[in-house]
């Protein structure tokens, strides 16, 4: 789950990371009022979209008075901002963030990121050689910097923050302060279950402190059950936010992504789901969706997910490829399918391959629900059968 800049900054401030004074606004009048209330003369007006490279594309602008801030807000709100990360359509700007302009001397890129290949957290720091005194967010030029592995010890985070801070030739007091800020960024990443906490730039201001002028935070969707307050920050209406269908599936403990094919796919486990898509392609078919049923899903959650598939008018067959494990049994998934078929009166051919925990019992459950499923012995047979049925249905 990606957060807007203003949301990310509010969260980081809780961990002691200084941020400029600022407020969100959704129209020009509010932008003027924010600048006046905060006593800002020179201020920054920033489009709030889930994309980087805003400054280079007119999404970050500077005003010299509250009135000019209102004019700039009027130019941004309601329009689409196109950057290298949005695609050609861009993202509609619903809000702007008005904050004080902060002069600075040194500009850094700092991030804590999950390294998926190595299975560890990394602290990444770089000096931004492209930064200008008027810069309040943008690219990240690379010069000196460090990549430092982080370890979680109990509820704390351990890393060589002094080494990371020492890469920039700072005076001892500044180096010590930067090390503190880096540790706070790492603490925020751990506490928030974040996949990414990125500050670019983190600047040494004229007042002598390190301030986050821009911030990006990505929360692990699978950890949101531990953070209901953060889940409430999800932006459904934003063009750059979550797809409403995928978001609804997420609430039902399903990872779901609609594709452009005609074979619906019901699978538990991301790895098995990807293998199933590969098998369908190999057999000459085109999957209509990606699906990963989480271990926390109930039969009613699965019924909802099955309904998403059969509601797609392009679906001509459904492949159920399930391997029951210790936390998600085959019969739980079978019950969900049975509930959905009875509720929707689904007539699309269903091909089933069941293995693992309660596989035989699950097959019996499907029969008891009256689901006209075609049972197959292995994944390859299941994939070929689903492709054949989709072709026959189309003909």
Q: 370-390, pLDDT tens digit by residue?
A: 999 999 989 999 999 999 999
3-state secondary structure of 216: strand
Query: Quick one: 395 exposed, middle or buried, by C-beta within 10 A (0-12, 13-18, 19+)?
Result: exposed
Q: For the chain, how many residues are written?
A: 395
User: Where are the CATH 3.40.50.261 domain residues in the chain?
Assistant: 244-394
pLDDT tens, 181-197?
A: 999 999 999 999 999 99
**Residues that are catalytic:** 109, 198
- DSSP letters for 2-62: B--HHHHHHHHHTTT-----EEEESSHHHHHHHHHHTT-SSEEEEE--S-S--GGGTSEEE
Residue 82 has pLDDT above 70, yes or no: yes
Query: Quick one: 182 exposed, middle or buried, by C-beta within 10 A (0-12, 13-18, 19+)?
Result: buried
3-state secondary structure of 86: coil
Distances (CA, A) of 284 to 114, 258, 279, 281, 378: 36, 19, 9, 5, 17
* Best CA proximity match to 53, nearest among 143, 135, 147, 146: 135
CATH architecture of 244-394: 3-Layer(aba) Sandwich (3.40)
Q: Which two tokens mark 304? A: 């909802």
User: Where are the CATH 3.30.470.20 domain residues in the chain?
Assistant: 1-19+103-241
pLDDT tens, 119-168?
A: 889 999 999 876 555 566 644 445 567 888 888 877 678 888 999 999 99
Tell me if 20 sits within 8 A of 203, measured CB to CB.
Answer: no
Confidence of residue 241 (pLDDT cuts 50, 70, 90): very low
Q: How far apart are the first and last CA of the chain?
A: 41
CATH architecture of 21-101: 2-Layer Sandwich (3.30)
Give the pLDDT mean for 218-247. 71
Pairwise pLDDT comparison (210 vs 41), residue with the higher score: 210
Give the pLDDT mean for 298-319. 92
User: Where are the CATH 3.30.1490.20 domain residues in the chain?
Assistant: 21-101
Residue 244 has pLDDT above 70, yes or no: no
pLDDT tens, 341-373?
A: 998 888 899 999 999 999 999 999 999 999 999
Tell me if 199 sits within 8 A of 212, measured CB to CB.
Answer: yes
Mean pLDDT of the chain: 89
Tell me if 319 sits within 8 A of 380, measured CB to CB.
Answer: no
Residue 237 has pLDDT above 70, yes or no: no
**Residue 265, H or E segment:** strand 263-267
Q: Is the pTM of this model over 0.85?
A: no
Rounded distance between C-alpha atoms, residue 77 and residue 96, angstroms: 7
Residue 334 has pLDDT above 80, yes or no: yes
Distances (CA, A) of 266 to 56, 96, 298, 340, 362: 43, 41, 14, 13, 14
Per CATH, the number for 1-19+103-241 is: 3.30.470.20
């Amino acid at each position: 789950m990606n957060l807007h800049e203003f949301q990310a900054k509010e969260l980081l401030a809780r961990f002691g990371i200084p941020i400029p004074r600022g407020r969100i606004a959704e129209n020009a009048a509010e932008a003027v009022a924010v600048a006046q209330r905060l006593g800002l003369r020179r201020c920054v007006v920033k489009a709030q979209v889930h994309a980087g490279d805003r400054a280079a594309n007119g999404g970050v602008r500077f005003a010299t008075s509250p009135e000019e801030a209102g004019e700039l807000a009027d130019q941004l709100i309601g329009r689409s901002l196109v950057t290298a990360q949005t695609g050609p359509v861009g993202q509609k700007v619903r809000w702007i963030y008005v904050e004080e302009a902060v002069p600075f001397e040194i500009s850094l890129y700092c991030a804590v990121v999950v390294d998926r290949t190595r299975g560890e957290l990394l602290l990444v720091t770089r000096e931004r050689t492209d930064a200008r005194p008027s810069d309040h967010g943008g690219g990240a030029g690379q010069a000196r910097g460090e990549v430092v592995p982080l370890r979680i010890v109990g509820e704390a985070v351990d890393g060589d923050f002094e080494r990371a801070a020492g890469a920039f030739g700072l005076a001892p007091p500044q180096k010590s302060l930067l090390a503190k800020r880096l540790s706070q960024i790492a603490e925020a990443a751990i506490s928030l279950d974040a996949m990414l906490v990125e500050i670019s730039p983190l600047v040494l201001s004229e007042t002598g402190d390190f301030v986050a002028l821009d911030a990006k935070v990505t929360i692990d969707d699978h950890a949101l059950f531990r953070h209901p307050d953060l889940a409430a920050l999800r932006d459904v209406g934003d063009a750059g936010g979550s797809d409403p269908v995928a978001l609804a599936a997420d609430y039902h403990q399903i990872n779901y992504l609609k594709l452009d094919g005609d074979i619906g796919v019901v699978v538990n486990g991301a790895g098995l789901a990807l293998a199933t898509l590969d098998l369908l392609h190999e057999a000459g078919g085109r999957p209509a969706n990606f699906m990963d049923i989480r271990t926390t899903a109930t039969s009613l959650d699965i019924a909802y997910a099955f309904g998403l598939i059969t509601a797609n008018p392009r679906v001509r067959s459904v492949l159920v490829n399930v391997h029951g494990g210790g936390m998600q049994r085959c019969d739980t998934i079978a019950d969900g399918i049975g509930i959905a078929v009875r509720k929707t009166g689904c007539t699309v051919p269903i091909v089933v391959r069941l293995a693992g925990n309660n596989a035989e019992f699950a097959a019996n459950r499907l029969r008891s629900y009256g689901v006209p499923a075609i049972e197959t012995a292995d994944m390859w047979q299941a994939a070929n059968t689903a492709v054949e049925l989709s072709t026959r249905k189309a003909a």
